[in-house]
Each structure stands twice: as C-alpha cells, then as structure tokens.
Amino acid sequence: MKKFFILLVALGVPVIGICGSTPAYTENITAENGSNFLILAAADSDADSKETIVAEDDFTDDELLFLDEDEEFLDVYDPLEPINRGIFWFNDKLYFYLLKPVAKGYRWVMPEPLMLGIGNFFSNLASPMRMINAGLQGKFGDAGNELTRFAVNTTIGIGGFFDTAKDHFNLKKKDEDSGQTLGYYGIGPGPYLVLPFFGPSSFRDGVGLLADSRMDLTYYLWEDRDYWAAIALRTVNTVALDKDTYEGIKRDALDPYLFIRDAWTQYRKNLVDN
C-alpha cells in the first residue's frame, strides 16, 4: 500500500489553496449499550461452517465493547466529494489506459535489480527533503541518520543506486515530508483532496507536496522537459515494482473511492502522529 501512496504523491505539484485548519478527523469513541444476546445462536438448522466459530460461552455485544477502548475512529472531512470523485475517475482512467500499459512494457524489458536500483536512486535524491523535515520537527537523530544515509549511498552506493546504508549499516529510511512537518506544528489536514495525476491528498499535504518537490534534488538536476521525463521514469518505475495494489483495492472494495480516501487519511494521520 505504501508504494501505491508513494506513487500517488511521488511528485510535487503546485497547489493553489489555503491550508485549512479544520480537522479532517474527529475522535469518535463509541460505546454503545446494546442488549444482551448471542447473535448467531439463533436456531438455524443449515448452519454452515462459519457459524461454528460462535461458541456458547461467547462474549456478548456489551462485553465486546472493551475492544473499542482506546480506539480512534476516523470521520473524514470531504466537502469536495463530487469534484474529488470526478478527479478520481480521471486518475483511474489515466492509470489503466496509460500508466499501467507503459509500466507493463517497462517491466517486461527491465530486470528487477535495475528497477530496484532506479527506485533507490530517486529515493536518494529525495534524501535532503527527509533530512530537512526531520530537522524541522526536532528529530535531530533522524536528520543525522538521513544525512549519513545520503553520504553513504551517494558514495559507496554509487550515486544512490544501492541502498548500502540499509543493507550493510542497518540505517533505514524513515519517511518524512513537509505535510508531516505542518502536521507536527498542529496544522490539520483540512478538506480531503484528490489531485489530478497525483492522487489522494489534502489541502495541507498538497502544499507540503509543493514544498517537498523544491527540497528534492531531482528538481535541481534537470530542467523543463528533462525534469518531467525524470518524474515520468520515477512514476513508471514505481508502478512497475508495485504488486497491483490499486487493482486489488478496485477488485475488493465496495466503493474504491471511499476505501482509498479513508485509508489515505489514516495513513497520513499515523505518519504525523509518529
């Protein structure tokens, strides 16, 4: 799933918008008082195997409420849903009719180690972005870790093609970005936003995305058409390495738009909280 999200926010995009401070999620700890009954104990002669999981000494509904203690449930703020759904539809077509076929051909000609190397290469170029954002959040240990990773991978890892820092020094990448930094300083995500080409985001994370692109060395290594070619390569490479995450969601979810919106919101909240 992460790879999918990385793909969708892989690049920076100019977003005109003001960061809303409205919380896109609210704490909603429900503690309902239901009546006591054993739901599946109802007489059912042709009970199938599923129902055998309900034993006589099962917890009742009320007793199961302890599972909800210390839980936060999301309530996503999505006032732009009609527009978002339109853009979601556009991105979906873009994915299936352009990105996916290209990625399939790409995967067919490219050996996997080479694809992993290209992924590492672009990830290494984004290292300063992670370092700056870790620093801005006062995580100086993480910032130092990222600096070491960048130094090691750029030199021993041959320009970032190998993640030597992870493979040989156990220095693992920790995802940081400007959206998380804004969140760290108490700025809520604001309304949920689906960006054309870039996928799920929020007002806050959209602004973050723009800032991120300016801290990414990719932006300074190439200009104009070359820059977008590099971005296209990075995107196709990510899709080629992905194990059909989006297809899985499309296949399984009752409403893929809602599933991705809620998953994205949780994913971002979790990153900000850590």
Partner 1 sequence: MFKQLFLTLFAGMLLAMTSVAIAGASPTDSIRGSVDSILALLQDKEMDKTIRREKIGEVISERFDFRAMSQRTLATNWKSASKEQQQEFVQLFSKLIENTYIGRVEAYTDEKVDYPGEKVKGKKAVVETLILTASADIPVNYKVYKKNDKWWVYDVIIEGISLISNYRSSYQEIVKKEGFDGLIAKMKAKIKELENQPQPA
Provide, rounded to whole angstroms, the least separation between the CB of residue 82 and partner 1.
13
Q: Which is nearer to partner 1, 226 or 244 (CB)?
A: 244
The nearer residue to partner 1, 16 or 254, going by C-beta atoms, is 254
Coil/strand/helix, residue 109: helix
* Cα Rg of the chain (Å, integer): 22
- Minimum CB separation of residue 224 from partner 1 in Å reads 29
Give CA 221 to chain center in angstroms: 26
- Kindly state the smallest distance separating residue 56's Cβ from partner 1, in Å: 10
Q: Which helix (H) or strand (E) holds 192?
A: strand 192-195
Q: Residue for token digits 């300074």?
A: 220
Please say which residue, 219 or 268, places its beta carbon nearer to partner 1.
268
Minimum CB separation of residue 229 from partner 1 in Å reads 22
Please, what is the minimum distance in Å from the beta carbon of residue 118 to partner 1?
Answer: 11
In angstroms, what is the minimal distance from the CB of 164 to partner 1? 15
Name the minimum Å distance from CB 90 to partner 1.
21
CA dist 28 and 35 (Å) reads 21
Which two tokens mark 116? 């992993």
Q: Which is nearer to partner 1, 18 or 270 (CB)?
A: 270
- Is 18 or 53 the residue whose CB approaches partner 1 more closely? 53
* Chain residues in the site for partner 1 (CB under 8 A): 1-3, 30, 32, 34, 37, 39-40, 42, 44, 48-50, 53-55, 57-59, 61, 64, 66-68, 71-76, 112, 116, 119, 172, 241, 243-244, 247-248, 251-255, 258-259, 262-263, 266-267, 269-271
In this structure, what are the phi and psi dihedrals at residue 221, rounded to the nearest 5 degrees? -85, -30
- The three-state (H, E, C) secondary structure of 141-164, written as one string: HHHHHHHHHHHHHHHCCCCCCCCH
> What is residue 114's three-state secondary structure?
helix
> Residue 99 CA to chain centroid, in angstroms?
18
Helices assigned H by DSSP within 58-194: 81-94, 100-109, 112-125, 127-136, 140-155, 164-169, 178-184
Say how many C-beta atoms besides its own lie within 10 A of residue 137's C-beta.
Answer: 17
CB 78 within 8 A of CB 258: no
In this complex, which beta carbon is closest to partner 1, that of residue 112 or of residue 226?
Answer: 112
Which residue, 133 or 219, is less far from partner 1 as judged by CB? 133
